[in-house]
Amino acid sequence: MSTLIVLLPPLPLESFSAATPFDYVLSDDDRSPTRHDRAAASLLPVGGKGGTEVVAVVPAQALSWHRLELPRGSLGRGAMAKASLKAASKTSSGGTPRLRAVLEGLLEDRLLEEPGELHFAVQPDARDGAAVWVAACQRSWLRAALAVLEAAKRPATRIVPEFAPPDGDAAPEAAPLQVLGTPAHAQLASIGAHGVSLLPFSAAALALAQAQAGSDEPLHVVAEPAVAQLAEELAGRPVTLSTSAERWLAAAHSRWDLAQFEFSGSGRNQFWKELAQQARTFWQAPQWRAARWGLGVLAAAQVLGLNAWAWKESSSLDNQRAVIRNTLTQTFPSVKLVVDAPVQMERELANLRQAAGAPSGRDLEAMLGALGQATPPGMVLTAIDFNNGEARVKGLESQSGELAGPLSAQGYAARLEGDQIVIQPAPGSRP
């Protein structure tokens, strides 16, 4: 399954239309970019046989980050969608009106816009009574951008931030300092305990980011190729190169999902989203590498074991067939070609009995003897026709149903055809 990562353009609301270009990254293995380009929503590539997961990335300039401590009972039972199945089993599908009201009340004095015009998303694994990160963006802008993708039949299955702050003492998912853009409009994304801030890139912005980190050690700087030289000059040290495609692909692996409240899907869709997220985490996360190797070794051992067992059974069957063929050819040297050993052996035995004058269950005498034991006294046969081991008798038509059981016990099958009863050795019997 391929992954299509689409950057939602930070455009004015009225600028969105079917012709709006979207920057995108297509990855066939979900690990490295396969294609990076810009196209209208209807021209965005779709995957092959395995399908495509569409991940929408909200750019850093469209999000603000706020650290809150949720009052106890805010999340309730099933307040929001989380990025783990364990958490999802305790929650519903993306947020409750009560949680929305709590967030509006807590953020009212921190926002430049009316809370009702904004969309909020709470960090994964949020807990009552604990400090959590809350992302906020313009609701109508997000709705318009997603609507264009949906109209082009590329609906987003997840919505992730371009950058996300670390949770508690955890390390940030991205490098602490990222330099983006072009030399004329370079920007510095600073990621840390203060959240995510986006500033015009300058020596002062670097000093501020270093001060926010509260560390004497120089922070790791990652820069896009276009601004790498500028970043090295202002930072006074080498920087790591990273393209925007690699950055968005890394963002798609984030545990965050901004599709909450009105943007969350149904409970069923949410379940499959959570399941896909868990599968992706298991397949890619470094901490699961040993488990993946163990699972692969176990699967390989099972396949090898089944093949070995099948080979052993096949060899055993071949040996048994060889024994049967040898028994036939050694007992009856006249048989040169073995096609069906049991049938050929039975035929040779019948020929020997016939040559020696010994009775056989296929003889008329044997059939009449069995018929005599099966019929009640006083019954008279009116006609007998015997040909090639099959006897046809008349006069017992009324007794056809009562003869089947006794004849079957002696190794014969009987059936009624018109006014005749047909008697012959039962398949597989040796009368």
Domain 2-166+243-284 classification at class level: alpha beta
Which residues are bridge partners to 425 per DSSP? 412
**Residue whose pair of structure tokens reads 């067939």 in the numeric block:** 321
DSSP 286-340: GGGHHHHHHHHHHHHHHHHHHHHHHHHHHHHHHHHHHHHHHHHHHH-TT----S-
Q: What is the pLDDT of residue 168?
A: 61
Q: Looking at 157-241, which runs of residues are DSSP E strands?
A: 158-161, 177-182, 185-192, 195-200, 221-223, 240-241
Q: Which of 38, 87, 57 is nearest to 174 (CA)?
A: 57
Domain boundaries, the chain: 2-166+243-284, 176-241, 286-358, 360-425
From the CB of residue 412, how many other CB atoms can be counted at a distance below 10 Å? 23
Segments in 128-227 forming alpha helices (H): 139-151, 203-213
Cα separation, 297 vs 139, in Å, equals 48
Instruction: Look up residue 22 and give its two tokens.
Output: 């979207």
Q: Which CATH number fits domain 360-425: 3.40.50, 3.40.1710, 1.10.3470, 3.30.1360?
A: 3.30.1360
Local confidence pLDDT in tens for the 431 residues of the chain: 789 999 999 999 899 999 999 999 999 887 889 999 999 999 999 865 567 889 999 999 999 999 998 888 777 644 343 333 333 333 334 567 888 999 999 998 888 889 999 999 999 888 877 889 999 999 999 999 999 999 999 999 999 999 999 876 555 667 789 999 999 999 999 998 889 999 999 999 999 998 888 878 888 999 999 999 999 999 999 999 999 999 999 999 988 999 998 888 644 455 555 666 667 666 766 777 788 888 888 999 999 999 999 999 999 998 988 888 888 888 888 887 888 888 788 778 777 776 776 666 677 777 788 888 888 777 777 788 887 778 888 877 777 677 778 888 878 888 888 778 888 887 755 55
Instruction: Look up residue 40 and give its two tokens.
Output: 């209208």
Write phi, then psi, for 325 (nearest 5 degrees). -65, -45
Report which residue type is found at 211.
Answer: A
Cα separation, 174 vs 151, in Å, equals 32
Under 8 Å between Cβ of 395 and 385: no
What pTM was computed for the model? 0.61
